[in-house]
Amino acid sequence: MKVQERYNEYVQKMHKIADVKYALAVLQWDQETYLPPKGADFRAQQMATLSEIAHTLFAEDHLGKLLEDLTVTDGLDPDQRRNAEHTLEDYRKNKKYSPQFVRELSECTSRSYFAWIEARKKNDFSVFKKSLQDLINLKRKESDILDYDQHPYDAHLNEYEKGASVEWLDAMFKELEPPLRQILADVSGKPQPEDHFLFQHFDKDAQWHLGLDLLKQVGFDFDAGRQDISEHPFTTNFSPLDVRVTTRIDENDFTSMAWSCLHEGGHAMYEQGLPVRQYGLPLGEYCSVAIHESQSRLWENCIGRSLPFLEHNMPLFKKYFPQLNSLTSHQLFAGVNRVKPSLIRTEADELTYHFHIMIRYRLEKKLIEGTLNAEEIPGFWNESYRSLLGVEIPDDKRGCLQDIHWSHGSFGYFPTYSLGSLYAAQFFAAMKKQHDQLEHQISNGDYLFVHQWLRDNVYQYGKTFTGSDLCNKITGEPLQLRYFTQYLTDKYKMIYGLSK
């Protein structure tokens, strides 16, 4: 068979696997949005079956042979070769897991999730600790299965961000912490801006329509996607031509939904921008979790919490919410950017957010290297919050039980949130460097340049590069923390009147 025929066979196979995985994603989406309560058990079973089918299809020996063969044969173009290489790597990784380990992990994760739910209900971490420790033990085994050079946590970090390591992240957080602490100290010494106007009653229906308007304004394509309501906002996709975002509405908080729409919209526009012709193939997938997060944070924060954006949207906000009529755009800008050390990660401001991540990163590192046990988490957690953010943790629910990630077995995910902010700041700086009228355009609601830049520099590449290599290629330098600290300093100078 000619090499192109073999490549096509590989593509057909990947399409089939993608079809099953996306079908599974439709079932998950429906589960979070519309599923009637009694349907939950059969739905879980149906999803497990699809998941098993996808797994079986991807594990077929024939695919392995095809990939081994394709990756050593001449005649593929560079993109085709990259696809085959990426898939072979995934294939080999997949083969490392014994069916027994997969089952054990899946069962343990399921137990762990329900224990977390229960623990939250009882506001008592001790209900969670046993199954969490079991899960950590399996995750430690998984480090060995996946293999690593220096630190067992590296194996898990790599699952979300290829090339990430403890060495790299230790250095990064070590460099990031002092300037962030300095900024926090500076703004804490200043009078805090008003933000009570954000927490009035805001009509649900008006919020919903504002959310749709904002998504449309920033460029979400409603012919290739839609928005629905779910308990927790998320983005999912069933092809680049069908990307779904969800949101939730808090009638007493104006910011919660509006900026969540921008956040999910950023994720979603990335998915809508991925190359359609690469459906089901690595180059049709997003680059990395951190790069995905950079897209949501770019739209939510760099653009969405900027003065130009708010200036442009004051009439829209006031149209839906007459109670904001006397508000100035600068007041709103100060309100939505107010810095306030707090207990809950997802409600944190752009500065203190990263202290939440540092705490989780340090904790996970210790858990995976085995120098901390699950039962020691509350102590470590509470002490870290005291020393880093100066807040007292009143109970487990507002402490170490707040995030779902561990109950899902997602160790190594949290750092990508910080990386996302850092990449976003560096990308946004690169855009502004190339286009000195960018902020003026944004103040006119014109995002053409942003879209073109993202299309040319991020969307079109899919998984061609690692996040780190992509950053190097499109900004001319590796990840630099100063873009983020400068971004924060500039912003807080306007709000708090910092001297630097």
Catalytic residue among 142, 264, 271, 300: 264
- The bridge status of strand 235-239 relative to strand 242-247 is antiparallel
Q: Is 99 in the site for its own copies (CB under 8 A)?
A: no
Would you say 19 or 32 has its CB closer to its own copies? 19
496: phi then psi, degrees, rounded to nearest 5: -105, -5
Measured CA to CA in angstroms, residue 35 lies from 27, 32, 44, 204, 356 at distances of 9, 7, 11, 22, 33
According to the binding rule CB under 8 A, does residue 371 interact with its own copies?
no
By CB under 8 A, residue 45 contacts its own copies = yes
Q: How far is the CB of 209 from its own copies (least distance, A)?
A: 15
Q: Classify residue 374 by its DSSP letter.
A: G
Residue from 16, 81, 122, 398 in contact with its own copies (CB under 8 A): 16
Is position 261 an interface residue for its own copies (rule: CB under 8 A)?
no
Q: Which is nearer to its own copies, 60 or 147 (CB)?
A: 60
| Among 256, 198, 265, 259, residue whose Cα is nearest residue 227 | 265
Q: Does 42 bind its own copies (CB under 8 A)?
A: yes
Indicate whether 46 belongs to the interface with its own copies (CB under 8 A). Answer: yes
Please check whether residue 80 is in contact with residue 92, taking contact to mean a CB–CB distance below 8 angstroms: no
Specify the residue, 247 or 294, whose C-beta has the smaller distance to its own copies: 247
Residue 13: how many CA atoms within 13 Å on its side-chain side?
Answer: 23
* 347 in catalytic set: no
Size of the site for its own copies (CB under 8 A): 37
| DSSP string of 337-359, one letter each residue | T-----S-GGG--TTTHHHHHHH
Tell me whether residue 81 or residue 226 sits nearer to its own copies (CB atom). 226
Phi, psi of 243 (to 5 degrees): -120, 125
Question: What's the min distance (Å) between Cβ of 221 and its own copies?
Answer: 8
Q: Is 279 in the site for its own copies (CB under 8 A)?
A: yes
Taking the complex as a whole, the smallest distance from the CB of residue 15 to its own copies amounts, in Å, to 7
Residue 146 interacting with its own copies (CB under 8 A): no
222 binds its own copies (CB under 8 A): yes
Instruction: Assess 43 for contact with its own copies (CB under 8 A).
Output: yes
- Which amino acid would we find at residue 97? Y
Of the residues 3, 11, 53, 146, which one makes contact with its own copies according to CB under 8 A: 53
What are the DSSP calls for 15-32, one per residue? HHHHHHHHHHHHHHHHHH
How many residues in the chain? 500
242 near its own copies (CB under 8 A)? yes
Residue number with CB closer to its own copies (40 or 171): 40
User: According to the binding rule CB under 8 A, does residue 59 interact with its own copies?
Assistant: no
Pairing of strands 225-229, 242-247: parallel
CA distance 479 to 471: 6
How far is the C-alpha of 320 from the C-alpha of 497, rounded, in Å? 31
The yes or no reply on residue 114 touching its own copies (CB under 8 A) is no
39 binds its own copies (CB under 8 A): yes
Q: Are 132 and 112 in contact (CB under 8 A)?
A: yes
> Applying CB under 8 A, does 20 fall inside the site for its own copies?
yes
Using CB under 8 A as the criterion, which residues of the chain lie in contact with its own copies when the complex forms? 15-16, 19-20, 22-24, 26-27, 30, 34-39, 41-43, 45-46, 48-50, 53, 221-226, 228, 238-239, 241-242, 279
Residues forming the active site: 264
